[in-house]
Structure 1
Amino acid sequence: MKRFAMAVTGAAILVAGCGGAEDDAAPPGDSAPATSAYEPGPFFGECGSITDAEVQSAFGAGPFGQITRNSVGCQWETVGFGGPGVSFSWYRGSPIGRERAGSELIGRPAKDIEIDGNPGFEAERGTLCEIGVQFGDDFFHWSITYSDQPAARPPCDVGNELAQLTVERKQ
C-alpha cells in the first residue's frame, strides 16, 4: 500500500510539472523556427578530382593493392597490412577545427597553411602528414603515410601537391 501511495504521489508530481495548454503557447514574435545559414561549398568530385595515376605519381610508392571509393572519400593502399597509404575525405558542414585539434591531440602539431586563398592546416610527424583545406563550412582532408617504410617523398610534399590539384579542380 505504501508503494502504491508513493507511485500515485510521484505521478501527480510529474503531471503537475507538465503544465497546461497555456504554457504550450509560443511567446509573441517567436513563431518562425530557427534555420541554418549553411551554404554548401564547391564540389570536389570523386576522390578530390584526382586520378589513381596522379596519386601513384605524387606518392612515389606502390603499386596500390587496394583502392576504395565510397560516399565520403577514397583510400589508396599499397600491398601489405599496415603499409603505406593515401586517403582523401570531404566533409560538408563540419568544422575543420575539430580535425585539426584531433591531429594535435595525438602528437601531430598543426601549422596554418593557405592554398589559393583558402585557409587550412598541415600536421606532420615522421612519415605521416595531414592536409586540411577549408571552404566556408566545408573542408577536405588528405592523409599520407609511409608507415614504417622509407618515404619516397616527404609526406607533406605529397599532401600539398594533391591538395593543390583538388583546389584547382573544384567546381
Structure 2
Amino acid sequence: MAAVSAVTLVAACGDGGDSPSPVPTGAPTASEPTDPGPFLGECGSVTDDEVAAAFAMPPFTMITRNSVGCEWEVGGLGGPSVTFSWYRGSPIGRERAGSELIGRPAQDISIDGNPGFIASSSGILCELGVQFDGDFAHWSVMYGNSRPTADPCDVARTLAELGVSRMQR
C-alpha cells in the first residue's frame, strides 16, 4: 500500500510532458567560469619565522605543508595554531557564510585592492579571506585555550598583507 501511495505521489508531481520545465526567474544557473587568481606561493609566501613573529607564541611543535596550505601548531590538536589555505576556483562567499552561520559575523575588508572578509570570536579566533579573481586565500588564527599574546585578527591581517605583497600576478 505504501509503495502505491509513493508511486501516486511521484506521478502527481510530474507535468506529464516531455519538455523540460522552465527555470524560475531569479533561480541560480550554472556558475560562469572564472579566471584563476595569481600565484600565492607555498604557505601564502610567508616564512615560518614571520608567522612566529606575528603569532608571538612559544616555538611551533608541528608545521604541516601540503598542496593546499600550511598549518603551524603549538601544543598539538586544539592548541594555538595558524592555518593558511588557498582555494582555487572556489567562491569566497561560501566560506564567509559558514563563518556567519556559526556565530562569527563577517565584516568586509580590502587588502591591496582585493576584497575579502574578516570574522572573529571572543578575541581567541580570527578568520580572514581575500578574493583573487576565481580563487581566495584563507587565514585562520586560533589561540585555543591559551591566553592570546596578540589580537588574532591583527595576526591574520599582517600575514595576509605580507602574502599579498609577494604574490605573483
Q: So what's the TM-score if we normalise by structure 2?
A: 0.79
Report which structure shows greater RCO (CA 8 Å, sep ≥6). 2
Q: How many residues align?
A: 141
Out of 103, 108, 111, the residue aligned to residue 107 of structure 1 is 103
Instruction: Quote the residue 2:150 is aligned against.
Output: 153
8 Å Cα contact 1:63-1:79 kept in structure 2: no
Distance of 2:92 and 2:45 partners within structure 1: 20
- How far did residue 82 of structure 1 move? 1.2
Report the Cα offset of residue 81 of structure 1. Answer: 3.4
Please report how far the alpha carbon of residue 88 of structure 1 lies from its aligned counterpart in structure 2 after TM superposition. Answer: 0.1
- C-alpha offsets along residues 12-45 of structure 1, whole Å, 9 cap, x if unaligned? xxxxxxx9xxxxxxxxxxxxxx9x6332110000
Give 1:165's match in structure 2, choosing from 148, 153, 162: 162
Provide the residue aligned with 1:118 in structure 2: 114
1:12 is matched with: none
How far residue 80 of structure 1 moved from its aligned partner, in angstroms, is 3.9
Q: What root-mean-square deviation, in Å, do the aligned CA atoms of Structure 1 and Structure 2 show?
A: 1.9
Query: CA–CA distance in 2 between the matches of 1:94 and 1:80?
Result: 29
**Taking structure 1 as reference, are residues 62 and 96 closer, same or farther at Cα in structure 2, changes over 3 Å only?**
same
In terms of fraction of residues, the more helix-rich structure is 1
Partner of 1:56: 52
Aligned-pair distance for 1:160? 0.3
Q: 1:100, 1:121 within 8 Å by CA — same for their partners in 2?
A: yes
Secondary structure of 1:160's partner? helix
- State the alpha-carbon separation in 1 of the partners of residues 63 and 149 from structure 2: 20
Q: Give ranges in structure 2 of 5+ residues lacking alignment.
A: 1-17, 19-29
What's the % identity of the aligned pairs? 64
TM alignment of 1:7-156, pairs within 5 A: 37-126=33-122, 127-156=124-153
Q: Distance in 2 between matches of 1:39 and 1:70?
A: 23
SS class of match (2:78): coil
Give the alignment's TM-score, normalised by structure 1. 0.78
**SS where residue 61 of structure 2 aligns?**
strand
Residue aligning to 2:25: none
The answer to whether the Cα contact below 8 Å between 2:39 and 2:167 also exists between their aligned partners in 1 is yes
Larger radius of gyration: 1
